[in-house]
Amino acid sequence: MFNYFRKELEWGGRKLVLETGKIARQADGAVMISYGDTIVLCTAVGVRTAKPGQDFFPLTVNYQEKTFAAGKIPGGFFKREGRPTEKETLVSRLIDRPIRPLFPQGFRNEVQVVATVLSHDLENDPDIVAMIGCSAALTLSGIPFFGPVAAARVAVIQGAYVLNPTSAQVKESKLDLVVAGTTEGVLMVESEAQELSEDMMLGALKFGHESFQPVIQAIIELAEVAAKDPWPLPEQSAEVTALAARVDALARAGIADAYKEPLKQVRQDKVSAAKKAAAAALAAEGLDADKAKGLFKELEADIVRNAILDTGLRIDGRDTKTVRQIVAEVGVLPRAHGSALFTRGETQALCVATLGTGQDEQIIDALEGEYREHFMLHYNFPPYSVGEAGRMGSPGRREIGHGKLAWRAIHPVLPTKANFPYTLRVVSEITESNGSSSMATVCGTSLALMDAGVPLLRPVAGIAMGLIKEDRGFAVLSDILGDEDHLGDMDFKVAGTDQGITSLQMDIKITSITMEIMEVALAQAKGGRMHILGEMARAITGNRTDVAATAPRISIIQVPKEKVREVIGTGGKVIREIVENTGCKIDIEDDGTIKVASNDSAKAQAAIDWIRGIVAEPEVGVIYTGKVVKTAEFGAFVNFLGSKDGLVHISELQQGRVNKTTDVVNQGDVVKVKVLGFDDRGKVKLSMRVVDQETGADISEQVGPKAGGGDRDRGERSDRGGDRGGDRGRGRDRGERRSGGDDAPAGEAAGEG
């Protein structure tokens, strides 16, 4: 029934298995791929004909995680998977980026690639597995695809490169790098690093590229026995060839002149005018101007690329290494905790940092389990930033991807939560764009965090590199313009400090690039990064010594673990009372760490004192200020330390005989008491008699022992009566405790002593 094929190999210490012919047989290509116990189903389907007039390649990649893969049921009301998570979006982009350049030029048929995680062993991340599986599915499908590609994850642990580290190993690593490519070279890179050198990063790329070559060979061997017949490649007709020649003749001079204009808006207007004039001429000649849309872009690319290779000068007159003018400003928003405006040429990012408490952390429900994230970076790209009017909605894949890239660049230099216990959120609003807005976000975020008083390890800057590669040579471009990105061959983004690289991302539009080009790009990017860091230092050189007045102040105290329950109280009663009365935000951890946050230092101190009072233990001989919470015939109950009460026996109220407790104190009175000791049940015995009630001084030596036998006899009778149950006060106290229940003060039981 099944035309089943299987290919397996040992890779990175685990078995990688590719299977086809049994599941999803109606897809053009379907591969079930497993690595360890992580299993992903990858499918590829293409439409046989392109839509008429379509001038772009409609490729869609969907990576989806099913919660059953980890033995979980989705949270929420509907109990089913909903909109894509951030990770699903990022992995979809990760798969798309290396396969997109490998479809033939001019191919316009719709293609959809779907990767579904069916099993997750919580050790092997499904992203690498899905990338390889999708490449295999496309290779088997017959859809025109110049693959296969493969991918690998590379870590650096104790100075050595590690292939496909487990989830636990990634946490120990100084590098988390994903590299994808073909047999010839690298196609895509995504990474986060702890200030690694250019040589170390280049070595990781070489290691990853060499390591996934056996996987490419395995896909080829599977395709030799299981691939479907290839679709015919699209051919350029004689009509299109003739049309291209006319477009060149009519538009080259006007477009070439337009690209001498350094200002983006003026340049775009001139390019548009040249295209319109050429289109009108084509229509007058009876030719189809709509078919010429893609030809105009090819002409633009030819003009720009060859001008750079011929002259070494770019669209705006710069050479290949010069970075555009930079203006960095901080503190631009008075009420924000930290803010920065970073402008580089015609690219501008307004970055705003907000400091929050542990209650503001983002809770992420992943297949690997729930965890909390205390650093969030959100990137927004409104249409006005490029002078357009457009729909504004929820963040798209591009915005999520750019935000994550900047997050990776900043994350390695953040302080630990122990040293800086704030939740951090940065929002980057791109207000102008002509070049890499993600790298502007990196620079602006670094400035905003330092302005907010966040003690970064070092400032971080980012730069985007471009590439023009032809048979006669190549040119690497620093700080690329938007047009150079669209018309060039590479978008290579490098972020880091003056000590090393923290993030690297690369996408290319050609089949691959060599290690020689990458080495040149990394070296050139380092020079540009150092220049940008110098310009940023004009605004601020390090973090401010204190957080903004509008930011919450977080104080950390440590209490014994066994006391945490007392601070929280039954059903959270105690902690709620503290929060309601002080207005503070309070986070309590299981190990006894308590964080108190407030904009008002007095309220924060009140909350801290309250908590310390709850967990503090009374010390014999120490004098405390307390409040009378109840009176009885045998004495007064005083709340003197947090929620702790003690008994001042009637004989300890004052020097001399006391006939009645209320002759000396009443409920609500504030008094000073000394801890005499504890009875056999741990109840606290207090004395007012040996404390000067005005000054709080200890006057034990002055007053001496209790005054006369009458007082002693009375106290003894009270005690004996309490033991026999015959003392009138004792009996009444018992009755009150029976009727009052939990409402009786905590220290009332001391009356039994």
User: Tens digits of per-residue pLDDT, 133-188?
Assistant: 999 999 999 999 998 999 999 999 999 999 999 999 999 999 999 999 999 999 99
Higher pLDDT, 736 or 638: 638
Q: pLDDT per residue over 292-318, tens digit each?
A: 777 888 898 889 999 999 999 999 889
Do 95 and 135 sit in the same domain of this protein?
A: yes
What's residue 76's pLDDT? 77
Token pair, residue 446, equals 């670094």
The confidence band for 725, taking pLDDT boundaries of 50, 70 and 90, is very low
Do 14 and 140 sit in the same domain of this protein?
A: yes
In sequence order, the 6+-apart residues with CB closer than 8 A to the CB of 198 are: 501, 522, 523, 526
Mean pLDDT for 55-83 is 91
pTM across the whole model: 0.83
- Give DSSP secondary structure letters for 410-439: HGGGSPPTTTS--EEEEEEEEEE-SS-HHH
Q: Is residue 318 part of a domain?
A: no
Q: pLDDT per residue over 464-485, tens digit each?
A: 999 999 888 899 999 999 988 9
Order of all β-strands in the sheet with 585-588? 553-558, 593-598, 585-588
In Å, what is the CA distance from 681 to each residue of 436, 678, 750, 752?
A: 72, 7, 9, 10
Q: pLDDT per residue over 697-722, tens digit each?
A: 998 888 877 754 444 434 433 443 34
In sequence order, the 6+-apart residues with CB closer than 8 A to the CB of 34 are: 15, 16, 17, 19, 40, 119, 129
Q: Is residue 321 part of a domain?
A: no
CATH value at residue 330: 3.30.230.70
CATH value at residue 288: 1.10.10.400
- In the predicted model, what is the mean pLDDT of the chain? 89
Q: What is the DSSP letter of 231?
A: P
Do 222 and 268 sit in the same domain of this protein?
A: no
The domain boundary, picked from 284, 311, 338, lies at: 311
What's residue 127's pLDDT? 97
The domain boundary, picked from 615, 636, 656, lies at: 615
Greatest mean pLDDT among 257-271, 407-421, 632-646 lies in 407-421
Do 365 and 468 sit in the same domain of this protein?
A: yes
Does residue 729 register a pLDDT over 50? no
Q: Is residue 596 part of a domain?
A: yes
Q: pLDDT per residue over 564-582, tens digit each?
A: 998 998 899 999 999 999 9
Do 82 and 201 sit in the same domain of this protein?
A: yes
Mean pLDDT for 503-516 is 89
Q: Is residue 588 part of a domain?
A: yes
What's residue 460's pLDDT? 98
Q: What is the DSSP letter of 524?
A: H
Distance CA 280, CA 562 (A): 83
What's residue 707's pLDDT? 55
The CB density around residue 294, as the number of other CB atoms within 10 Å, is 16
Q: Is residue 380 part of a domain?
A: yes
The domain boundary, picked from 226, 251, 270, lies at: 226
The confidence band for 410, taking pLDDT boundaries of 50, 70 and 90, is very high
Q: Is residue 304 part of a domain?
A: yes
Q: Which residues pair with 371 in a beta bridge?
A: 364
> Considering the chain, what percentage of its residues have pLDDT values greater than 70?
93
The confidence band for 77, taking pLDDT boundaries of 50, 70 and 90, is confident
CATH value at residue 728: 2.40.50.140
Do 349 and 369 sit in the same domain of this protein?
A: yes
Do 657 and 516 sit in the same domain of this protein?
A: no
Do 649 and 693 sit in the same domain of this protein?
A: yes
Does residue 736 register a pLDDT over 60? no
Token pair, residue 374, equals 């205390």
Does residue 748 register a pLDDT over 50? no
Do 522 and 409 sit in the same domain of this protein?
A: yes
Do 168 and 289 sit in the same domain of this protein?
A: no
Q: Is residue 582 part of a domain?
A: yes
Higher pLDDT, 75 or 237: 75
What's residue 446's pLDDT? 98
Q: Is residue 548 part of a domain?
A: no
What's residue 458's pLDDT? 96
Mean pLDDT for 599-604 is 88
Do 453 and 568 sit in the same domain of this protein?
A: no
The confidence band for 635, taking pLDDT boundaries of 50, 70 and 90, is very high
Mean pLDDT for 262-276 is 89
In sequence order, the 6+-apart residues with CB closer than 8 A to the CB of 331 are: 339, 451
The confidence band for 1, taking pLDDT boundaries of 50, 70 and 90, is confident
Radius of gyration of the chain (CA): 37
What's residue 98's pLDDT? 96
Tally of domains within the chain: 5
Does residue 556 register a pLDDT over 70? yes
Higher pLDDT, 681 or 457: 457
Mean pLDDT for 65-87 is 90
- Worst-scoring range by mean pLDDT, 266-270, 299-303, 737-741? 737-741
Higher pLDDT, 705 or 198: 198
Distance CA 663, CA 649 (A): 14
Q: Which residues pair with 156 in a beta bridge?
A: 161
Do 295 and 335 sit in the same domain of this protein?
A: no
Whether a cis peptide bond, with omega within 30° of 0, leads into 148 is yes
Range of the domain at 91: 5-226
What's residue 137's pLDDT? 98
